[in-house]
Structure 1
Amino acid sequence: MSNAMNTDYPIFLGSEIDQPDPDNAMFHVLPVPFEKTVSYGGGTGKGPSAILDASWQLEEWDGKSKPCDAGIYTCEPVDCSVDAATVIDNIATATAKIVRHGAMPVVLGGEHTVTYGVLKGLIEAGLDDFGIVQIDAHADLRQAYEGDLLSHASVMKRAVDMGIPLYQLGIRAFCEEEMAFRKEFGVLYEDADDLVPNNKQTIQLPDDFPQKVFFTLDIDGMDPSVFPSTGTPVPGGLGWYQTLNLFESVANQREIIGFDIMEFAPIEGFHAYDFAASMLTYKLMGIVQRQRS
């Protein structure tokens, strides 16, 4: 089997593994290089290829297990050359296909709007009873931003509009509209000003939160000292181990049905951040693999 799809999008961990049959892989990595509504720095469209390329420098052993033993299949990248609504549909179709394979989508963005397409795909595939846990610097709960309903700043508003319960972690930049919406629709949250100074490593989901969880991780949810490589950095974010531990605390309580890594914008010449984003992706796979086994 080939260890690369093309020069821009090699398979994840392709230096160590061959591309498996999609039916024999727990994880399906879906690159989505979509970048349209970024409102500060750019570059998120280059995130997926940078993460995949850096994954060739990873060890199979993640420190606790070998996530690749569960099978990692890398999908062809989603076509993002069309209008935004069509891109969302393309993402949904690709995500639904992954779920129908019995696999877990691991989606690499791209701006956070990508998550809206992923959620639509999960629902199209029949997963209509799940919640979202979000790590982010921003609430992303605006009705629209700069007149765009599909803005990256509105993606969680679209999710709540779909009736999906939401639990937000690490938020530290929001507007009054978003605060009011949180209260009106019962959005759960533990913001950075509590999580970070108190060094909280776990959360407790309420009993009535859905048993299946999709986890969306915006790179800017982590502190810029860890990841300056994002378009909208905000100080006071989560640390490396805190992020992993919070994810694991959710995985210990619920079934993770998929996750994404959004808003990673590579900085040319600083490959340490590409590697860190790739390692983060693999570490999250490892947490899921160990929980399931």
Structure 2
Amino acid sequence: MSPSTGFLGFPARLPDGSPRAVLFGAPHGSTYPGADSIGFAGAAAAIRTASQADASFLDSWDFDLGGPLFDGRAPCCTDAGDLPTSDHDNAGNRRLIEEKTRAILAASAVPVMIGGDDSVPIPFIAGFADHGPIWILQIDAHIDWRDERHGEPMGYSSTMRRASEMPHVAGIVQAGIRGVGSARPLEVETARRWGSRLVTAREIQAEGIEAAIRHIPEGARVVITLDCDGLDPSVMPGVAARTPGGLSYQQAVALIEAVSRRGRIAGFDIIEFHTPSDVDGITALTAARLLVNVIGRIIRQV
């Protein structure tokens, strides 16, 4: 990956070697038997491409952030490129993602991962084992609490179930839930019994983002995992399961900002961008802008 093709033109490394945030792509995770993840594998490349139009405007005023991206500081983010994952090497993919996450945290930087399907957050969250406790804010149409599916316990229907079993995960807030997915009454009961706060899209529409943010303790270190289908398909059509009634771009941006003000963004991933389903690059553009907001809030964290 050349410096010009990194997200917003970010280099692979900084001269002083001290980035605030490190982006990386995770094309593949834990694929179900008989399925493939090819539709998600190009997400990082598409988002990087969508960001290039703004790469020359890093010093311009960003009205989402209330100032330039780096807020008067020197550029301090890198893009490490994509991990060498491969379809159906489930254990190998998880190892690569967890190791990369641990390495970024060991360097005192914030890991920002671009997936990949919704199985890639499992090893990403596992990588925080030595940096807990953490809370998780999941923005998603689905709760992902299946114990297994098709005999695979690490797939995209089990993400929050596996996270709940990690000792360093102190709490989970799931925002934007709506419609029908693979969750049965048993999964909903299991999630609630564990203590996950399930916040529907209708609740956020009625009460605002406070319906979700109030469940996160002051000062918490939070990993945000954003499934593209958490937003409305009019904003992010490039998903495998379009579900009407999702969050708006501004609601997602407000949630990101609120987390950074209430506590700290300890990590972020954006996943489930199914590139063949995108329409005129809308999903890639929206995803790139969400990443800009995440990076800007990380920069502004004290």
Q: TM-score range by the shorter chain?
A: 0.7 to 0.9
Deviations 1:210-249 (A, max 9, x none): 7211111001000111111011221110001011112212
Q: Cα distance 1:90–1:277, how it changes in 2: closer, same or farther (>3 A)?
A: same
Amino acid at match of 1:262: I
Aligned to 2:27: 33
Aligned to 1:186: 195
Q: Are residue 169 (structure 1) and residue 175 (structure 2) matched?
A: yes
Q: Cα distance 1:209–1:168, how it changes in 2: closer, same or farther (>3 A)?
A: farther
TM-score by length of 2: 0.85
- Is the contact between residue 22 and residue 77 of structure 2 (CA under 8 Å) also seen in structure 1? yes
Runs of 4+ off more than 6 Å: 38-42
Q: Cα distance 1:72–1:265, how it changes in 2: closer, same or farther (>3 A)?
A: same
Q: Cα distance 1:232–1:269, how it changes in 2: closer, same or farther (>3 A)?
A: closer
- Is the contact between residue 20 and residue 71 of structure 1 (CA under 8 Å) also seen in structure 2? no
- Is the contact between residue 89 and residue 117 of structure 1 (CA under 8 Å) also seen in structure 2? yes
- Is the contact between residue 132 and residue 215 of structure 1 (CA under 8 Å) also seen in structure 2? yes
- Is the contact between residue 219 and residue 263 of structure 1 (CA under 8 Å) also seen in structure 2? yes
Q: Cα distance 1:225–1:28, how it changes in 2: closer, same or farther (>3 A)?
A: same
Q: Are residue 12 (structure 1) and residue 17 (structure 2) matched?
A: no
Q: Are residue 92 (structure 1) and residue 101 (structure 2) matched?
A: no
Aligned to 2:67: 65
TM-score by length of 1: 0.88
- Is the contact between residue 129 and residue 210 of structure 1 (CA under 8 Å) also seen in structure 2? no
Counterpart Cα distance in 2 of 1:171 and 1:207: 17
Deviations 1:16-54 (A, max 9, x none): x54442733211001111163497996111111111111
- 1:55 Cα offset (Å): 1.2
Aligned to 1:132: 136
Counterpart Cα distance in 2 of 1:84 and 1:11: 26
Q: Are residue 49 (structure 1) and residue 45 (structure 2) matched?
A: yes
Aligned pair count reads: 282
Identity %: 27
- 1:178 Cα offset (Å): 1.7
Aligned residue for 2:189, secondary structure, equals: helix
Amino acid at match of 2:143: A
- Is the contact between residue 134 and residue 217 of structure 1 (CA under 8 Å) also seen in structure 2? yes
Amino acid at match of 2:189: A
Counterpart Cα distance in 2 of 1:40 and 1:110: 11
Q: Please provide the CA RMSD for this pair.
A: 2.4
Aligned residue for 1:24, secondary structure, equals: coil
- 1:205 Cα offset (Å): 3.3
Aligned residue for 2:158, secondary structure, equals: helix
- 1:89 Cα offset (Å): 0.9
- Correspondence list, 1:68-83, <5 A: 68=70, 69-81=74-86, 83=89
Structure 1: runs of 5+ lacking an equivalent: 5-9
Amino acid at match of 1:246: L
